[in-house]
Structure 1
């Protein structure tokens, strides 16, 4: 006789696989809990026992398929390393299939604060933290100024991508990705200009 925990894991795996298959076949908006249950061969109540919504099922399916988080490559060239990451991110958002799922999940998070927190912490945060860690190593190498706010530098890299993708204000291309890296690192590498660092006029100059 199969142990209960093994039956549960088999059912869980079947549900997540069914959700991923239906995402490809019908898209997020037409996918239902009933359809996931039918494809997985389980009762609808089984899904609701483990997940509170369709969005939560899809999030688990997406996260479950991700590789274990690993540090970003450190070639010693922060520009090149970040270009690779941001180009890959832009490509994901430009992909019609991946974009449709991400857009639908984003809509769900607007009305579900708990799901939004899970998407942030489980799907987005690992990548953002990897980039921040790479920036920190670049700072230790003297490539980024000591007072650069690294959390804000990460936002400068990713925020414009989400804005352009969400509002459809322009194409998502490799040149666009490269420009974001250049702008963010220019801000992070140059000295801060402010009241305390602005050049004062020479009162003795003629």
Structure 2
């Protein structure tokens, strides 16, 4: 007796093919030149299927990046805050440096500057829960006296992330490990337990 095809498995295969196609095309053509038509053709699915699942190209690419991004879902906690921050920021840089993910993430980031809804989706899907993990780790560090009791965590978070995104947006070379070490040391001097008042 022939077993009927599993429609859920077929849908999942089509979804994975679509996400893979979006990333491949971003590498080959650049994000701006990728179209839903091209993604559908590469994935072997219909445009109607794609539009049932995603409202636009940007949503496909955002989901693809989110699923493939190497940034850990939980913030590292080795007991050494500086080391944990270095690992975290290295994970963000890993997305930009990844030849498969970098063009896609950069494209979504650029488009989000002109599309408030996409910016909201970017924050909701990729950014907010990860920043919450960082904030939780920093709050714990403050409670454990790794940081000053009045350390301004909101400003510290902005300082830690800003150089990466500023350099990416303005096409400067991205920070290397030595730069990250200097950046983290600067922040730790500013908000660490022995900082100068």
TM tier, shorter chain?
Answer: 0.7 to 0.9
Change (3 A) 1:36 1:96: closer
The size of the alignment, in residue pairs, is 193
After TM superposition, the structure 1 stretch with the greater mean CA deviation from structure 2, 65-74 or 105-114, is: 65-74
8 A contact 1:90–1:174 mirrored in 2: no
Change (3 A) 1:99 1:15: closer
In structure 1, how many angstroms separate the alpha carbons of the residues matched to 2:99 and 2:67?
21
Structure 1 residue 185 and structure 2 residue 174: aligned? no
Structure 1 residue 73 and structure 2 residue 113: aligned? no
In structure 2, how many angstroms separate the alpha carbons of the residues matched to 1:101 and 1:67?
14
Where in structure 2 are the equivalents of 1:1-206 lying within 5 Å?
1-66=4-69, 70-94=73-97, 98-169=101-172, 171-189=174-192, 193=197
SS at match of 2:32: coil
Stretches of structure 2 that go unaligned for 5 or more consecutive residues are none
In structure 2, how many angstroms separate the alpha carbons of the residues matched to 1:24 and 1:57?
15
Stretches of structure 1 that go unaligned for 5 or more consecutive residues are 194-206
Whichever of the two has the greater Rg, that structure is 1
In structure 2, how many angstroms separate the alpha carbons of the residues matched to 1:100 and 1:91?
12
Q: CA deviation at 1:109?
A: 0.8
Q: CA deviation at 1:98?
A: 4.2
8 A contact 1:86–1:178 mirrored in 2: no
Q: TM-score, normalised by structure 1?
A: 0.80
